[in-house]
Amino acid sequence: MTGFQISPDGKHMLAIESAGDTRNIVVWKLADLSAKPTVIGAKNMQVGGASFLKNDMLSVNLIQPYDLRGDDFVKTFINKLLFTDLEGKNWIEPMASAEIARSGGAKLQAALANPSVLSRMPADPDHIVLESDSRGDTRDVFRYNVRTGVSTRLMKLGENDGRVSVNAAGVPWAKTRFGSDGGGAFIAVDFRSTDGRWEEHFRNYVKTRDVVDVIAPGAKPGIAIIQSNVGQEFAAIYEYDIAAKKTVAKLFEHKFFDATGVRSLGKDDETPGQDGFDGYQYAGLFGSDVHWENPEIDAAIQGVAQALGIKQINQKLMTVSGSSQAEVRSLDGVSIRMVRRVAGEAPTYLFVVSGLTYPTEHYLLQKQNLRLLAKGYPAIDRAALGTARFVYYPARDGLNIPAYLTVPNEKLCGPGPYAAVVHPHGGPWSRDTMNFDGSGWVPLLVTQCRVVLQPQYRGSNDWGRTLWIAGDREWGQKMQDDKDDGAKWLVSEKLADPRRMAMFGFSYGGYAAFAAAVRPNDLYKCAIAGAGVSDIERIWSRFYTNPIFKERQEPTVRGLSPLTQADKIKIPIMVYHGDRDQTVPLIQSELFVDRAKSAGKPVEYHVLKDYAHGPAWTRQTMTQQLTIISDYLKTGCGGSGL
């Protein structure tokens, strides 16, 4: 089970139950968890997730494969948002379109159209605020009655409008807007004035990589909570006076990570109490860590850690430039995240516990009684997952590269050095976290006695402006050097056998594996590229026609295009790709494989049925993916395995 949540009134709890490929929504009465719960399933679509829309109503995301045979043949997946009661008896498709699409392209757009919830309006039992199509085709904002299905348009968005912020009362009050002027492409932040007009307050040119974003309404009228990294290495959180157009207070900053959000213990997580917010989020080791201002929460988390036997360690943190560093106390490789607090004489807490070597678990704390609700991966033996820690290693030009290191269990695998896999993340404007890897990739590798390094190479975001910008125009060059330097560091630390190292990645990580195969070095015995980009010119000409993307990210994508050297690969490579991938098209792998095979190079290729650019549709698909990786590293990889 996963996805545990508690209703706004604290009376019900839900989770997503998986039994094979069947996924059901399970709903309990919180006051009597021993009673038989309600189980809500779906016949034709698969439950992707669920949450409480109202105290007595659920918001459910459903997914299924979709084939369009029209102007073109497109294999993809579609998502649908539906609402239902707590028994799953009555279902509503909000904002269902009655238009008949005639062309293939129009049919595809109609099938993919899906509204999104902008505000649950927790104080109103009947209404919510919806954006009619979050993909951007017919993006109007509506107040929607979940009882009657009646909708009222609140605002019509222009073609250049971006994200709309709606307060708890259902009133749109801030939005982003895209544009271009003599300074280049920009993202503006507009606030709605008292007379209803939209007025620009911030204009950030995308080429500067400055970010100003609206997070939430403030505790006082006329105050907005914003995030800004302007003139700074890391983003901080501020109070902003809308009428005066000025920042009035810095609420939170972190010396080593971007501050990203706020937490409140009320029914609406972003609505502050009289004393302000209870915590502030930052992009820490687990991606969305929280600094709690409320000592009650810290005490509860420490109590859970003590009950579960999770120890504290001194964790070294530093900037990538090395200009600042510190040691902080943190839980040893595990995150204890508070999902919800239900107020009362004896508050109830819902927690998620997770780590790279700690498969996700869900707990309920009531009256000092800690109850295990479910394990996300109950069959996994934690002892086989080894140990994980966060480290830095030196790049050849002096930057400190952050990384996650997972080392096999010495009692099960014997002492190192071990076979090693350098495992870069996708993106590249993305990052890894220290949470359990639900893809199964890291657990597979380490339980088979391989050390795994996940480098947060230059170009990764959330580690500060310096590392982010350092990846510009360095695809396959300095970005790749960072990964190679990580491999050399593993050898220097006597963790890796230099004759038994490989690179495996997916998406941009797949690109990195392609690059590793063609670059002139002797570091890796083989590589594995999952859904990788082999032709960087082709991928960007297809996807980034939007002027904001073109100016913000496309110029940063310069460097090695592995396809041009596919006929000269230096090491064996295994390539796999999903046939429903609409993010990185299948042709990116096909072109590379065809050119390499035509030159007689050692390439193994697999196309995975009903697999897109992300989670597997069935367990069989996930098993197939993990099996081809396991088999290649066991018996392939140039012979005799890794």
Domain ranges, ordered by start, for the chain: 382-640
What value, to the nearest 5°, has the Cα angle with vertex 135 and ends 132 and 138? 45
Q: Which of 328, 494, 339 is nearest to 415 (CA)?
A: 494
Over residues 242-270, the pLDDT tens digits come to 999 999 999 999 999 999 999 988 655 55
Q: DSSP states of 290-301 as a string?
A: EEES-HHHHHHH
**CA-to-CA separations, 15 to 36, 50, 54, 92, 472, in angstroms, rounded:** 14, 8, 16, 20, 42
Please give the pLDDT value at position 98: 47
Please give the pLDDT value at position 368: 87
Structure tokens at 301: 């988390």
Pair 26, 1: CB distance under 8 Å: yes
Amino acid identity for residue 607 in this structure = V
Q: Which of 580, 558, 574 is nearest to 641 (CA)?
A: 574
Q: What are phi and psi of 16, to 5 degrees?
A: -105, 120
Structure tokens at 10: 């604290």
**Cβ contacts of 571 within 8 Å, gap of 6 or more:** 516, 517, 524, 525, 526, 527, 638
CATH class of 382-640: alpha beta
Please give the pLDDT value at position 78: 82
pTM of the model: 0.93
Q: What are phi and psi of 87, to 5 degrees?
A: -100, -10
Q: Which of 312, 425, 440, 423 is nearest to 376 (CA)?
A: 440
Locus of tokens 């003139």: 231
Structure tokens at 491: 């050898």
Please give the pLDDT value at position 101: 47
**CA-to-CA separations, 166 to 124, 205, 215, 501, in angstroms, rounded:** 14, 25, 11, 50
**Cβ contacts of 310 within 8 Å, gap of 6 or more:** 331, 332, 334, 336, 353
**CA-to-CA separations, 351 to 6, 19, 236, 377, in angstroms, rounded:** 11, 23, 26, 16
Q: What are phi and psi of 305, to 5 degrees?
A: -60, -45
Residue 165 is given by DSSP the state E
Q: Mean pLDDT of residues grouped by 10 in the chain (642 residues)? A: 94 93 94 95 89 96 80 77 95 72 55 84 94 69 94 90 91 93 91 92 91 93 95 96 96 96 74 77 96 93 96 96 93 96 90 97 94 93 96 96 98 97 95 96 98 97 93 94 98 98 97 96 95 88 59 75 96 96 92 97 95 84 96 95 95
